[in-house]
Amino acid sequence: HDGAVRLWRGETHSDYQLAQEMTGHVGYVTAVCVTVDGSRIVSADSNGSLRIYDVDDDGSLTGGRELRVREVRGTIVNSVVAHPGGHRLLVHLRDSTVRS
């Protein structure tokens, strides 16, 4: 419950090591998704904050800029999905609403 997104890498299915830790969320991280093309990761938290990270060629994360979405602020995010078209996020909130 520390507001961090962690990237783990492993050579086998049972040998994962912490490769990177990105902080920035105030609330605890509740959802993470990868865009269809694999170029970005989006994370969401218990305060309705969304952050977007770029995935570099070596697989490391950079950025972590906040996406300001007024409609989800203050509400726990249950899940987030990147739309296949690449220009929308579908966000499911604890209050049972879905936003895009």
pLDDT average, residue stretch 26-30: 94
Question: Distance between CA 56 and CA 40 in Å, rounded?
Answer: 9
For residue 38, what are the domain limits? 26-99
**pLDDT cut 70: percent of the chain above it:** 97
Q: What is the pLDDT of residues 57-95, one digit of tens each?
A: 998 999 999 998 888 889 999 999 999 988 899 999 988
Please count the other Cβ atoms lying within 10 Å of the Cβ belonging to residue 61: 19
What pLDDT is recorded for position 100?
64
6 within a domain of the structure (yes/no)? no
16 within a domain of the structure (yes/no)? no
11 within a domain of the structure (yes/no)? no
What pLDDT is recorded for position 28?
95
72 within a domain of the structure (yes/no)? yes
Minimal CA–CA distance to 20: which of 51, 49, 58, 69? 58
21 within a domain of the structure (yes/no)? no
Confidence of residue 11 (pLDDT cuts 50, 70, 90): confident
80 within a domain of the structure (yes/no)? yes
Q: How many domains does the chain have?
A: 1
Does the global pTM surpass 0.85? yes
Question: Distance between CA 42 and CA 14 in Å, rounded?
Answer: 25
pLDDT average, residue stretch 18-44: 94
17 within a domain of the structure (yes/no)? no
10 within a domain of the structure (yes/no)? no
